[in-house]
Structures are given as C-alpha cells and as structure tokens.
Chain A
Amino acid sequence: MTEMLSIKLIVNGIVVNKLVDPRQHLTDFLRSDLGLTGSHIGCEHGVCGACSVRVNGRVVRGCLMLASQSDGAEIETIEGLVESGDLNELMTEFVARNALQCGFCTPGILLTAAEIVAEDRCFSRQEIRNELSGNICRCTGYQAIIDAIEMVLIENMKKK
C-alpha cells in the first residue's frame, strides 16, 4: 500500500489541501481530484504540450511534474486563466480565424502563447513557430495559430 502524501497548494487562487499518491502527475491530479479537465493528457512524456499548466508563474508540462512536488506551489490552469481574463485578447484572435479545430491542444497552446505575449518584445513569425514547437496541433497546420499570436503582439505594440 502506497503511503499517501499531504499537499497544500493554491490552484487558480483557491487553497487546496489533498492527499495524493506519490506517483500521480500534476495534470492527472488536477483533472481527477479537482475536476479541472481543461488541461488535457496527450502523450504523457513531455512531447505534445497538451497538459501545460502554469506553476509559480511559468508554463510547465503537467505530466512531467508530480502532484506531490506542487506542495506549496501556485498553480494556474486554463480554467483560472480564462476566468481571470488574462487570455481574452488571445482567445478573441483565435476565435476570429478558427485557430483551432478539435481543440485538444488549444489550452496548452494558449498558455504557451500567453507566455510569449508576456515577454513584451518583437517575435518574427519563425520565432513564434519555433516557440510553438513544443505544442503539437494535428488539425490546423499552425498558420491560423501563428496569425492569432502575431496579431495580439502587433496590437500590444500599437498600444505603446
């Protein structure tokens, strides 16, 4: 019988106390224990990026971190970021040009895109494409996704 570990963390601004199996990864925990099913489970070995969540302000692979390691951490998932309005501009541009089809990769791509936008600098299209190499989309061919991110970067530049 595995010894369960007690963890206390903040998920989307709410303090959570739970017992977890040491071998459970973070995205499994968020989905099955907290019902936050917006972070998806694709490859479970760090290739596809569908499981991306923010841990202490940085995007990480939720499948490559144990839930037990999130003790004391601040986690933000796609649900929290949508609710906070942080992704509004990106989501508007994604919807405007259908930058998704099945939507499986979209939460992870939005999190990566938000980190790119937050860097507050110029990105060429090739750079955006390189940044997205860690998030696999099998529907769109990326063109509309890159268009959407580029548009948000341009709009942000204009505001300066």
Chain B
Amino acid sequence: MKAPTFKYLRAESMDDVYAAFAEYGDEAVILAGGQSLMPMLNMRLAQPAVLVDINPIYELSGIVLSNQKLHVGAMTRHVEVANAELVAETLPLIGCAIKQVAHRGIRNRGTFGGSLAHADPAAEMPACAVALDATLILQSHGGARRVKATDFFLGVMSTDRRSDEILTSIELPTQGSNHAWAFHELSRRHGDFALVGVAATAQRRSEGLDGLRLVVFGCEARPRISEVVASRTLVPQDVAEFAAAVVKDLDPMSDLEGDAEIKLIQAHALVERSLNDLLAAQPYD
C-alpha cells in the first residue's frame, strides 16, 4: 500500500507543465488534489514515471462570474465550491450536489477539475457538468481548446483530453429564474460514490418543462444526456412514462455495488423523484 517510485516535479507555472509534457510525453501525469490519483498510486493501480504537481499554480484556482457564466478554475477545491455563495446562488444544482462529494477531509483537498479529468462514472461533478452544459477549457503549449462536457467524457476514466493538454478551467452557464433542477443520489453511506444518481435541469414554460437535460450516473461508462426525453415537454401526468423511457434507454454496467438489474430499479426510482422535483420546483431569484 505504498506508492511506486516516480519522479516528482513541482510546477510553479503553466510553462513548467508544458515543459514536463514536452520532455516526458505520456509518462507525465498531472497531480491536482490527488484524492483519486493518490489511492491509485498507493494501490499501484497507476504507476506513472513522472508526477507533475500543479498545486503551486495559484491562477488555476478561483470562481468568477462573468457574462452569465461561472468560470471555475480547475484547481478550485471542492470545499471552496461548496462554501462559495456565488455557486449556491447561480448554480444551485452544483451547490446541492457538491455536498455529496466524498468526505470532509477529501473535499478539503480534492478539486473540481480533478474530478472531471478523472472521469469516474459514479462521480457527481461530471454528471452535473453534462446536465449544466458546461464547457471545459484545455490548454496545451499550442493554445486553448474548448470542449463541451457532453463530448469530453468518453468512457470509464477516459476523456477527450490529449496527453499534452491540461484542464485549466470550466465554464458553466448560470441557471436563470425559469431554470428547474433536481439532484438525487443513492449511496450506502453519506459521501461514498453513488450506486446510482441523477442530475437534471430543465426550462420552466407555461405548458410544462422543456429542454430536459437528465443524466443518470453511476450506471453507464460515462455521463450522458438522456436523449429519449430531451426534446419533449414534461407535464405531471407523463412522469411515469418519461421515467420508464429513460430507464429503458439505459445500459448499466454491473459493479461491486450491484448488478445491472438492481441498478435499473434504483435508477427508475431516482429518475421519477427527479422529474417530480423538477415539476415541483418553484421559481427562484
């Protein structure tokens, strides 16, 4: 249970990161909060030759609101996201979901960007980023690339990030007063990874809810919008039918927490709860 040998590089600037990528290529692994990477090292599930510690790069942290978008630095720690009034006010979905991310000691160190880059299918923040239509900013020596969260997650711990790129910030469109949201998660213990969870947003219209972006996580290999209901208008009498359609479209992976059949039953209950929450949500200012 001790990490293997590696070379440790302390990056003081982005140039240090690019230099490490240039010299070591695929062998260089970014160390952000370390709350997923360090367990993988200690259990020797990962054996990188070089760790590039980006904790000293202060400009990668911080939360800024501009042009109806919240810009979250990749190194912003979960505790800072959870404590930020700006997040609670403009992105209540994140404000709610962040409390479910791991335990206090892990939230104190783990980072928003790290959680996205790690891309655990049972993690909360990737699902929220997809539901909120976030854009991820990836920087390399050659410049910046913008990738939609819907395109970023490719599979289990697999993303569209190239080996010479580093995730530097995340842009999240803020939720307006006609915006409804819902978040539900099932876990055995508070703070554990989700057995199954749902993150959802929608636009409130006089005739019902449309623009439904519903993500079931902890189920498939990557978080994705449930397309079968995305273009339809939700009214209260259709909740059961919508939930059935979402669940029918799922292809869950069995894992240690339960087989695929159990996950479908769990997902069905959470999707139904989430749809009811969306419909019941009151406008907020």
Show the binding face of A for B, using Cβ within 8 Å: 2-3, 5, 22-23, 25, 28, 43-46, 49, 52, 55, 58-61, 63-66, 68-69, 71, 112, 115, 129-131, 133-135
Contacts and interface: CB of A to CB of B under 8 A. Distances in A.
B35 A133 contact: no
A65 B38 contact: yes
A49 B3 CA distance: 18
Interface of B: 1-8, 10, 31, 34-35, 38-39, 41-43, 51, 53, 55, 79, 102-106, 108-109, 189-192
A26 B1 CA distance: 14
B1 A115 contact: no
A73 B55 CA distance: 12
Contacts, number: 97
Contact of B104 (A25, A71, A131): A131
Contacts of A112: 104-105
B103 A49 contact: yes
Contacts of B6: 22-23
25 contacts: A23-B4, A23-B5, A23-B41, A25-B38, A25-B42, A43-B1, A44-B39, A45-B43, A52-B105, A55-B109, A60-B105, A60-B109, A64-B38, A64-B109, A65-B34, A65-B38, A66-B31, A68-B53, A69-B31, A112-B104, A112-B105, A129-B190, A130-B190, A133-B190, A135-B103
A9 B271 CA distance: 49
A131 B51 CA distance: 31
A58 B5 CA distance: 28
Closest 4 CB pairs of A and B: A134-B103, A22-B8, A45-B39, A130-B190
A115 B189 CA distance: 20
Contacts of A5: 8
A71 B108 contact: no
B105 A25 contact: no
Given A60-B108, A64-B34, 4 more contacts: A23-B3, A28-B2, A59-B105, A68-B8
A130 B185 CA distance: 14
A25 B192 CA distance: 23
Nearest to A23: B3
Contacts of B5: 2, 22-23
Contacts of B51: 22, 66
